[in-house]
Every structure is written in structure tokens, then in C-alpha cells.
Amino acid sequence: MNRFVPLCLAALSAVVASAPARADFSSCVGSLKAEAARAGISSATIDQAFNGLKPDQKVLDLQQVQPEFKTPIWDYVDGLVDEERVADGKAAMAREARALAHAEQTYGVSRYMLAAIWGVESNFGTEMGSRPLVQSLSTLACLGERASYFRSELMAALKIIDRGDIPAGKLAGSWAGAFGQTQFMPSSYLRLAAPGMDGGRDIVDSADDALSSTAHYFVKGGWRSGVPWGFEVKLPAGYSGPSGRKARQPMSVWAGRGITRIDGRPLGGESEAGLLLPAGKDGPAFLVTRNFDVVYSYNAAESYSLAACILADRLAGGPGIQTPWPTDDPGLSRVERRELQALLVRRGYDVGNPDGAIGAKTKQAIADFQGKVGLPVNGRASVKVLQALRQ
């Protein structure tokens, strides 16, 4: 009985605290409706979008946890670029060979890069997200950070529905409002969605339309046909020179500092490049061109851009990153992540379906297990955790 009272008080406090949020959301939705009407959105679309709409608290939670910025670079890249994804990507490229050829020939963007974006964004059209865009964007516009940005994206989503481009029921995606096989934000869709071979712009159900739209996005972002995104390099011992994606120099300047390609070959003279050191000078190093910046514009995180570019190389038959990451406890592939989850289940942990996606339940289980076996408690899926579970 003594435990019941504080629990009731806590629950009551939560209800009282949530009441202003609900009231604020309701008031905000009213202003969103008025803004949509002023923007020329039909009353039918407005009613369909907002009637009975409630905020999605999970979206607000996810806004605080973005893996591109909080995950060690080796975990992030290795989790996105593994043998399974390369094999899946080659199969997807064979399946959509005509669409990729059309996009490459029309816009001059490498089919391998387009396929890599497709793979990183939606696992080749199989994982596009299921959160209703209007609910997610309304929640963020009313209760989240960067409210004005998400308010603008919400208006763009309503225009997509109102124009009849994509039905509201299919306009679902990530917590942040990106949707389709290559995850366009609504405003980007309105500006840059391009027709595929069938003349459509359905980036949800048509890989052809999604790939053409992505190629168009890249061209508008400054993609230069025939120029590589960059390549891995070897630094001379004790290198202490400049670095940074934006600190571009001619290849001859980098060569003069003793930098070579990872296999020892000369750099060549493709273009200016910046020296990217994603894990510091003791980890892999890359010279990256302006085409890397175009990939960066798609999702403004160097970890994302590097993962996409390395996946493109792997799909083209390249070997991937050659220099080891500077860690004694690297991350896991998806196959290894599924094994880790299955082993946690065997030990009695509830992590849901072992699908390789490391969510809150898996992280909590890992942290509990780490504490029991004397590993640093951080909830991270790593080689040391997997090895301990195998014992």
C-alpha cells in the first residue's frame, strides 16, 4: 500500500503535466489549419489531415537521439556497410538495372552512388518508415525543436496530398518526415522529384521514380559526372598538416605532403580535395572531392556521407575501407547484431525479435549484461560484448 500511493501521485502528476502540452498542441493545430488554408490547401485535405490528430511522443524522443551524431564512426559505418547489404545491393541493382541505367544516363550520376543512397536510406526500398508524416511533422512543428522548419515541411506535405501526387495513407516515413525509397523531405520532393521512365514521381512505390529523383537532387546539388567522391589514402608518418572536408587543395599539394592512395599509387589529378580524418590521424584517411559534399547535402553528417560512399565503392566491386579503425572493440555487422540479440534472448533478456536493429530494449539488455561480466557499461553492441555472450 505504501508503494501504491507514490505511484498514483506520480501518475497524477504526469497527467497534470501533459494537460498543458495537449492544450498547446490543440491550439497549435488550429494555427496550422489556418496557415494551410492561407497557402491554398483545400478544406477537404485539411480536414483529412487534422481531424482527430494527436501528438506522437515517440517522435519527440527520437529527435533527441540521432545516430549519425551520437554513434562511434566505426559502429555507424560498419553497421551500414556489411557483406549482407552489399549482397542485397547487388541483387537490387540487378532487379532495377533499367531504372538505374536511365537515371545515370539522364543525369550523369553514378548508378553505384544512387544504389548506395537507396540502400542506406531504405535498405533498397524495404524499410521506408511507417510513421504518418502529418502526425510526425505536426508534433515536431508544435512541440519539438526547430519548429519553424518542421512547420514548413508540414505545409509541403499537405501540398503533396492536395495535388494528388501521393495519397495521405502512403505518406509515411521517418520520425523527421522523410519518406519514400530514398527518403525525401516533403519540400525536397516538391522542388526536385523527377519522373522516371514511366513519367511518374511516385518515390514510395516506384524505385524508378525514386532513383531518378535522387539523381536530379544530386545534379542540382552540384554533382560532377565522372569525378570520384574521393578515395582512401595513406598518410606519411607523423603527419601534422591540414585536414577537414572543406580545406580543399589540389591533388598535387597533397602529394607534396607525402600522401598517396592507400595502395601506394600516386593521387592523380582529378580535382581539388579535402582531407577527411573521421577518427583522427590514427584511423582511415580519405581525400574527398566536391561530390562528397553533394552526398553530405543529402544528410548533413560526415558519417552518413562516408558510409554511403563506401557502400557505393563496394557495390562497384571495391574492397571497402582498408585501414583499421583506431579501437580495440569494433562494432558489429547486421548478422553479428542478430546473433548478439539471439544470445541475449537465450539469457532471458527481452529484446524483441532479433532483427539486427539495436533499439532501447537491446541497449538496456546489453548494459545489464556488461555490468554482470565486468565490461564498461554503455549499452553498445560491440565485438567484446558478442564474444562474452558466446562464452
Q: 364: domain range?
A: 334-390
pLDDT at 67: 61
In a domain, residue 229? The reply is no
DSSP 132: E
Residues in the chain: 391
Low-confidence ranges of the chain (pLDDT < 70): 1-23, 66-69, 270
At residue 248's C-alpha, the angle toward residues 243 and 254, to 5°, is 70
For residue 364, being part of any structural domain is answered with yes
Q: Say if 280 falls within a structural domain.
A: no
The C-alpha cell of 175 is what?
520520425
The verdict on residue 206 lying in a domain is no
Rounded Cα gap, residues 132 and 179, in angstroms = 10
Let me know if residue 157 belongs to a domain: no
What is the structure's pLDDT at 64? 82
In order of 37, 79, 190, 372, the CA distances from 304 in angstroms are 37, 11, 24, 34
Cell 558489429 locates to 332
Is residue 251 domain-resident? no
In this prediction, residue 218 carries a pLDDT of: 98
386 is a domain residue? yes
pLDDT in tens, 233-252: 999 999 999 999 999 999 99
Evaluate whether residue 362 is within a structural domain.
yes
- For the chain, what is the domain count? 1
